[in-house]
């Protein structure tokens, strides 16, 4: 369905996209495009362009994960974790991770890094709560 008042910029295009699971609304050729897509693996993608301005809501790789992303790296992940006892909320892959877990050791971990920068609040085996 194409509604146009000119050749290019004034054009409003509503398309089913290349792969039929995509709904594309465009005001032009490139940057003004709004894409709502079912994505490759059960993800809902809302994008203002190809890369950086993308907001992605995904069921993740293993179906127990909900991922909300503003691009490649600025990701907010809410996950049931690997072993289902864990609720993980992450702002990235590693360092910015905030983990709330009822996992093996009933641990609550708040971390800003892998090792030295880590702040860990734990109610684990030995009740290692900071004073």
| Contact in structure between 69 and 75 (CB atoms under 8 Å) | yes
Query: The tokens 């809501």 sit on which residue?
Result: 57
Whether residues 57 and 22 fall in one domain: yes
Clarify whether residues 92 and 47 are in a common domain: no
Same domain, 15 and 64: yes
Q: Which domain holds residue 60?
A: 2-71
Number of structural domains (the chain) is 2
Q: Which of 30, 51, 71 is the last residue of a domain?
A: 71
Check whether 67 has a pLDDT greater than 50: yes
Domain boundary among 49, 71, 93: 71
Query: Quick one: 59 and 18 in the same domain?
Result: yes
pLDDT average, residue stretch 78-102: 50
Residue 104 has pLDDT above 50, yes or no: yes
Residue from 61, 37, 39, 35 nearest 50 by CA: 35
User: pTM for the full model?
Assistant: 0.24
């Amino acid at each position: 369905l194409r509604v146009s008042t000119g050749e290019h910029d004034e054009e409003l295009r509503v398309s089913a996209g290349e792969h039929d699971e995509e709904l594309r609304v465009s005001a032009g050729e490139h940057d003004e495009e709004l894409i709502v897509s079912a994505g490759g693996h059960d993800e809902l993608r809302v994008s203002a362009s190809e890369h950086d301005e993308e907001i992605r809501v995904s069921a993740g790789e293993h179906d127990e994960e909900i991922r909300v992303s503003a691009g490649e790296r600025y990701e907010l992940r809410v996950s049931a974790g690997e072993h289902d006892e864990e609720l993980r909320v992450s702002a990235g892959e590693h360092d910015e991770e905030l983990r709330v877990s009822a996992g093996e050791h009933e641990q609550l971990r708040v971390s800003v890094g892998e090792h030295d920068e880590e702040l860990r609040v734990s109610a684990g085996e030995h009740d290692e709560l900071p004073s």
